[in-house]
């Protein structure tokens, strides 16, 4: 009897979580949800720099589809004259001699961006350090504003992480219709859940423990 009293609430809670997760997963994979959330961000405008954040490595240490989407959008913004130079940050895996930002810079150069208009760093390995390293490069060029290019859900998370910086930041997610390669429902589901989990981890762990964990996972 005692086991039944304990088990029943657990089963009810589990069922509730499954139902809520089903509703959430359905919602985040709808295009109208994407457009609704994107409307809370910014639209393209003139700035002193474009900062493009690395996403992840794909197979054989190539760039993930999301990283390619961000490069293409950042290059498009540059070519349309929104900023005089473009910065790539993130993806430092020194033990593997891999630097995602460098790979992104090489792709951008192949897409026609002059080498003297491209900058990248090789120190950052998570969202917060991506931003901090990008910020340093903007300030090194006396910039006062930046277009921050990333995925929709990462930018929604970054709005809570970026503060107390003396430059104006505009958050620009890759437009759904202009995504190349195109966004799938699975892409949106993974992006939403990853960023929710990352934000919870950042909030729950002491800063030193969080940094140690990131460095361990991405050495």
| CATH number, residue 151 | 3.40.50.620
For residue 183, is pLDDT > 90? yes
Contact 89, 124 (CB under 8 A): yes
Count of domains for the chain: 2
Q: Indicate whether 175 and 130 sit together in one domain.
A: yes
Q: Indicate whether 180 and 209 sit together in one domain.
A: yes
What pLDDT, on a 0 to 100 scale, did the predictor assign at position 121? Answer: 98
Judged by DSSP in three states, 178 sits in coil
**Joined tokens for residue 15:** 């069922």
Q: Which residues lie closer than 8 Å to 69 by C-beta, 6 or more apart?
A: 151, 174, 179, 180, 181, 183
What pLDDT, on a 0 to 100 scale, did the predictor assign at position 4? Answer: 56
Q: Indicate whether 109 and 189 sit together in one domain.
A: yes
| Torsion sign across C-alpha atoms 13, 18, 21, 26 | negative
Domain range for 151 is 41-217
Q: Indicate whether 72 and 162 sit together in one domain.
A: yes
What pLDDT, on a 0 to 100 scale, did the predictor assign at position 1? Answer: 46
Q: Indicate whether 55 and 95 sit together in one domain.
A: yes
Per-residue pLDDT band at 5 (split at 50, 70, 90): low
Residue of 150, 111, 151 whose CA lies nearest to 134? 150
Helix (H), strand (E) counts: the chain = 8, 7
Q: The whole model's pTM is what? A: 0.92
Q: Indicate whether 26 and 133 sit together in one domain.
A: no
Residue of 193, 155, 162, 158 whose CA lies nearest to 37? 155
For residue 95, is pLDDT > 50? yes
Q: Indicate whether 47 and 10 sit together in one domain.
A: no
d(CA 43, CA 12) in angstroms, rounded, equals 44
User: What average pLDDT does the structure give for the chain?
Assistant: 93
What pLDDT, on a 0 to 100 scale, did the predictor assign at position 192? Answer: 94
């Amino acid at each position: 009897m005692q086991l039944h009293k304990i088990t029943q609430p657990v089963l009810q809670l589990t069922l509730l979580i499954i139902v809520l997760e089903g509703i959430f997963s359905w919602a985040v994979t709808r295009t109208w949800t994407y457009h609704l959330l994107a409307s809370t961000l910014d639209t393209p405008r003139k700035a002193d720099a474009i900062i493009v954040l690395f996403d992840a490595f794909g197979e054989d240490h190539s760039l993930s589809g999301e990283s390619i989407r961000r490069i293409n959008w950042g290059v498009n913004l540059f070519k349309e004259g929104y900023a005089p130079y473009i910065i790539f940050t993130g993806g430092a895996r020194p033990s593997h001699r891999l630097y995602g930002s460098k790979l992104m810079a090489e792709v951008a150069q192949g897409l026609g961006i002059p080498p003297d208009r491209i900058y990248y760093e090789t120190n950052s390995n998570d969202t917060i350090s991506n931003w901090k390293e990008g910020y340093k490069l903007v300030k090194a060029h006396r910039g006062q504003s930046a277009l921050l290019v990333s995925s929709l859900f990462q930018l929604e998370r970054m709005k809570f992480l970026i503060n107390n910086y003396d430059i104006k930041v505009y958050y620009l997610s890759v437009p759904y219709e202009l995504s190349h390669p195109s966004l799938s429902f699975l892409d949106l589901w993974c992006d939403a859940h990853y960023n929710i989990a990352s934000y919870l981890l950042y909030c729950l762990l002491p800063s030193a423990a969080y940094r140690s964990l990131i460095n361990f996972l991405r050495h």
